[in-house]
């Protein structure tokens, strides 16, 4: 069974028990403000979870459920997924957390664990994070996770920063954090 643990978090595959809590999270307009797909209802949440399971089966990674280790509460998701950017297939980092969990370091903690896994266990060579410049909180999370360099580009009719981190850069970042 797939599982990653950090001091405060458990990262795992989605289960059917996650539909309602995840629908509340990704149905929140504030959480989804910078999402290309807008808010999700319960049906769209089920489709998203099915897509996550398909990604996992095909690639060995996907967006994963992130839960509080103590309470077991589903806090959101973090993970890697296939994304085509400017005609090139990339491994994209994506994450969303319940609003009441913001500004407490959970996204950074989860993303660090996700990058550790994909770079050391799945041998992914690079990961990209597409972030709208106005999304200051997500920019901070990306930078704290080791993403530094970016190029301005258009993606799905939006101006975004395409941050990229290589496996080698990640290993350097990880050593600096230890």
Which tokens in the block code for residue 104?
């407490």
The structure's pTM equals 0.94
Query: Which residue ranges form the domains of the chain, and what is each CATH number?
Result: 3-177 (3.40.630.30)
Residue 113: predicted pLDDT? 96
Cα–Cα distances (Å) from 20 to 14, 24, 98, in that order, read: 12, 6, 13
What 3-state DSSP class applies to 116? helix
Per DSSP, what are the bridge partners of residue 26? Answer: none
Q: Residue 26: what are its φ and ψ, rounded to 5°?
A: -85, 5
pLDDT string in tens for the chain (178-residue length): 789 999 999 999 999 999 999 999 999 999 999 998 899 999 999 999 999 999 999 999 999 999 999 999 999 999 999 999 889 999 999 999 999 999 999 999 999 999 999 999 999 999 999 999 999 999 999 999 999 999 999 999 899 999 999 999 988 877 776 6
Residue 76: name the closest of 51, 54, 94 by CA.
94
């Amino acid at each position: 069974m797939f599982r990653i643990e950090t001091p405060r978090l458990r990262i795992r595959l989605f289960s059917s028990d996650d539909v309602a809590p995840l629908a509340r999270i990704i149905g929140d307009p504030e959480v989804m403000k910078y999402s290309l797909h807008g808010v999700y209802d319960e049906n769209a949440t089920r489709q998203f979870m099915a897509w996550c399971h398909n990604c996992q089966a095909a690639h060995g990674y996907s967006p994963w459920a992130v839960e509080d280790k103590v309470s077991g509460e589903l806090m959101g998701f973090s993970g890697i997924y296939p994304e085509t950017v400017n005609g090139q297939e990339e491994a994209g980092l994506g994450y969303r957390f319940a609003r009441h969990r913001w500004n407490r370091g959970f996204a950074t903690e989860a993303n660090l664990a996700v990058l550790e896994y994909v770079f050391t266990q799945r041998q992914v060579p690079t990961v990209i994070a597409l972030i709208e410049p106005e999304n200051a909180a997500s920019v901070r999370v990306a930078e704290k996770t080791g993403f530094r360099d970016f190029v301005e580009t258009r993606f799905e009719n939006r101006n975004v920063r395409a941050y990229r981190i290589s496996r080698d850069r990640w290993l350097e970042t990880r050593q600096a954090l230890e």
